[in-house]
Amino acid sequence: MRNFAGALALTMTCALALPVFAQETPVAGAVKEGSLEGKTLTFVSYGGIYQDGQVAALQEFVEKSGVTLLNDGPTEIAKLKAQVDAGNVTWDVVDTADLPPYVHCGTLFQKLDFSKLDVSKIPPGQVGECSVPAMNYGVIFMYKTETYKDNPPQNWVDFFDTEKFPGSRAIDGSGDPTGGLIEQAFKAAGGDPKAITPDDIEKGIQKLRDLGPDTIYWKTGAESQQLAESGEADMIMMWTGRAMTAAKNGAAYTPVWQDWLVVMDQMTIPVGVKDTDAAYALLNAYLGQRSQEILTEKTSYTPIHMDAKPQVDEITASFLTSTPERIAQGYQQNIPFWVENFDLAAEKWNALLSGN
C-alpha cells in the first residue's frame, strides 16, 4: 500500500507540474531551439527598407527556431478579407496601419492571447485587443528657427495661433485625416479632446481652415521634407523620419515635441491561420529587445521595446520616440472615436482639402 500511495503521490505531483511547463511565462525575444523545425510562416508587411529591416530583426528567430520564413506584401485588407472569407488564410503575421486591427478586431484579426506574448516592455497604451505595435514614429511640427528666434511655439495650440505666431503652415494632406491633428485643432478652438463628439469634428476642421489661404497641404513625405530643406513654410507638420532626414540635410528648423502624435504600425495574427502557436512565436520574438534594436538600426524607426538601445547616430537618436521623456510628451489619438466616426471625418477632411 505504501508503494502504491507513493507512486500515486508521485504521479499526481507530475500531473500537477505539467501545466506549469505548458503555460511557461513568455519572454519577449526568447526563442526555443528547433521549436519550429519543418514549419513555414508567411510574414506580410509594406516592402522596401522597412520590411527588409523587419526580416533582419527576425533572423535570429529563423535561425534558432528552424522555421522557414516567407515574405509577402504589401498589406491589403481586401486581400486578407478574401482569404478569411474563403477559409484559406496564407498570411500568418500581418503588419497593418493604425486603425484596421480596431475596425476588424475579431473578424479579420484574432483577439490576442496575452499568455503567449510578453508585452511588458511596450510603451503604455499601445497594446490593442487584436494587435501589438510593430514600430513607432511620430507626427510633430517643425518651426523655422530664424522666424521665431527667442519666442518659439511650444505646442499644437501655438501652431494654430496665427496672431501670436504669424507665418505660413504646412500640413499633411497625403491621405486620410489624422485624428490626433483634428483633436489638437479642437483643443486650440477651446474644446476638450477627451470629450470630443461627432459634432466637434467640424470645429476642429474649421480651426484648420482658419490658418489661412497660404496653408500648404503636402501630398508626400518627400514633399514635406523638401519644404523644410527649402525653408518654404514657417511651421511644418512632419513625420519624424522625414523631419530627421531634413535635419541631417541641414534644414534650419527646430522640432516641437510636446503632444507629438503617436503613430504605430500594428502587428496582427489573422483569423484562421493554420498554426496559431507558430504565429505567436514569431510575434513574441519580434517584440524582443535585440530584434527591436536591429529594426531601428536598419530603418531608423523607433523601437517598441522600452529597454532597446539601438546604435544610431546623434541626430537619429534625437528623433526616436522611445525615451521616457518622449513617451511622457506623446499624445495618443482617441482610436475608438475615430474608428466609429471615420466616414464623417473623411468627408469633412476631403471637403477641407478641396477648398470647401
pLDDT tens string 73-104: 999 999 999 999 999 999 999 999 888 999 89
With a pLDDT cut of 70, the percent of the chain lying above it is: 94
CA nearest to 173, candidates 230, 203, 216: 216
C-alpha cell at 337: 472615436
C-alpha cell at 39: 514549419
pTM of structure: 0.81
Per-residue pLDDT reduced to its tens digit, 280-318: 999 999 999 999 999 999 999 999 999 999 999 999 999
Residue ranges, comma separated, of all CATH 3.40.190.10 domains in the chain are 4-136+264-324, 137-262
Q: Would you state the pLDDT for residue 23? A: 58
Indicate the CATH number of 137-262 among 3.40.1190.20, 3.20.20.70, 3.40.190.10, 3.40.640.10.
Answer: 3.40.190.10
Let me know if 30 is exposed, middle or buried by CB neighbors in 10 A (0-12, 13-18, 19+). middle
Q: Determine the angle formed by the axes of helices 240-248 and 221-230, rounding to 10 degrees.
A: 40
Q: Would you state the pLDDT for residue 70? A: 98
Q: What is the distance between the alpha carbons of residues 223 and 230, in angstroms, rounded to a whole number?
A: 10
Q: Would you state the pLDDT for residue 176? A: 84
Torsion 346-352-355-356 (CA) sign: positive
CATH superfamily, domain at 4-136+264-324: Periplasmic binding protein-like II (3.40.190.10)
Query: Does the structure show a pLDDT above 70 at 17?
Result: no
Q: Would you state the pLDDT for residue 356? A: 78
Say how many C-beta atoms besides its own lie within 10 A of residue 302's C-beta.
28
Contact 153, 254 (CB under 8 A): no
3-state secondary structure the chain: CHHHHHHHHHHHHHHHHHHHHHCCCCCCCCCCCCCCCCCEEEEECCCHHHHHHHHHHCHHHHHHHCCEEEEECCCCHHHHHHHHHHCCCCCCEEEECCCHHHHCECCCECCCCCCCCCCCCCCCCCCCCCCEEEEEEEEEEEEEHHHHCCCCCCCHHHHCCCCCCCCCEEEECCCCCCHHHHHHHHHHCCCCHHHCCHHHHHHHHHHHHCCCCCCEEECCHHHHHHHHHHCCCCEEEEEHHHHHHHHHCCCCEEEEEEEEEEEEEEEECECCCCCHHHHHHHHHHHCCHHHHHHHHHHHCCECCCCCCCCCCCHHHHHCCCCCHHHHHHCECCCHHHHHHCHHHHHHHHHHHHCCC
C-alpha cell at 149: 528666434
Give, in order, the Cα–Cα distances in Å from 11 to each of 5, 24, 84.
Answer: 10, 21, 44
Which residues share a beta bridge with 308? Answer: none
Mean pLDDT along residues 134-139: 94
Distance of CA 342 to the CA centre of its chain: 18
Per-residue pLDDT reduced to its tens digit, 326-354: 999 999 999 999 999 989 999 999 999 99
C-alpha cell at 142: 517643425
> Where on the phi/psi map is residue 149: left (φ > 0), alpha (ψ -120 to 50), or beta?
left
CA nearest to 332, candidates 112, 105, 98: 98
Range 194-204 burial, b when 16+ CB lie within 10 A, else e? eebeeebbbbb
Mean pLDDT along residues 214-220: 95
